[in-house]
Amino acid sequence: MELVSKTHCFDGTQCQYSHRSEVLDCDMRFSIFLPSQAEKDQQFPVLYWLSGLTCTDENFSQKAGAQRMAAELGIVLVIPDTSPRGDDVADDAGYDLGKGAGFYVNATQTPWKPHYRMYDYIVDELPALIEENFPVSQRRAISGHSMGGHGALTIALKNPERFTSVSAFSPICNPIACPWGEKAFAAYLGEDRSTWEEHDASVLIGRAVEKLPMLVSQGEEDQFLEQQLKPNALKAAAEAAGYPVKIEYHAGYDHSYFFIASFIEQHLRFHADYLLAH
């Protein structure tokens, strides 16, 4: 693991690291914010943030303004990249497939299978790396935006023992029934749609045995709301399953990081109630 950059921020440090990923078989970068208290001999809880289509680890770090509240609460922020990277990694001309569009699944199809294993990277490899090298505990929460909101919801629903809570901004709630999800899942997972259900929050929420605290924020002026995001599918599935998800709609807000910056404090405080509970 190599330090790429280090910046003082709200009395803490905002860093970017590169490392060799065995799971993805390529070099990866992630960003991490460490509050000032992390310099002491303590272990701090972690919020993992999963970003959306076309993003890297830098979008959330630079645009969301999350560090101020993370510093106040004593929470470490870990922001991975959204896909494998490198000259040998398969790609596509479209923005919604390939590099920058890993969809947080383990690909089973050629040419994606050798590198596109973002599910295993987020669930296992990256947390192990973080917990080995930084003053953090095994208390983890997960959040994300758009494609990353899809990733946060599905990973949490499939691994509730690993997280205290989950939240999402403008998540792709029903990817098996929207153009973004259909394109990506057909490429990464193949044409057998039954395999897609393992990565659809609106399906998984109906199968969940353990019910994690869940918060979803959605802008009412989001240009992708009806065709791509489909929060009503998640709401209906949650109500049918008796899963207490809180879905909040916000008038006037779109799909951008201005929306995230407006409500990131609420999400961090939501997670703090569970991450910091004793």
| Residues marked as catalytic | 146, 222, 255
Cα separation, 91 vs 218, in Å, equals 30
Cα separation, 179 vs 207, in Å, equals 24
Beta-bridge partner residues of 247: 216
**Four-residue CA torsion sign, 269, 274, 276, 278:** positive
Q: CA 11 → CA 59, 69, 113, 224, distances in Å? A: 21, 12, 42, 37
Cα separation, 35 vs 1, in Å, equals 20
Surface-to-core class of residue 162, CB atoms within 10 Å of its CB (0-12 exposed, 13-18 middle, 19+ buried): middle
Q: Please report, as a single letter, which amino acid is at residue 216.
A: V
Q: Please report, as a single letter, which amino acid is at residue 6.
A: K
- 224 CB-near residues (< 8 Å, 6+ apart): 146, 170, 255
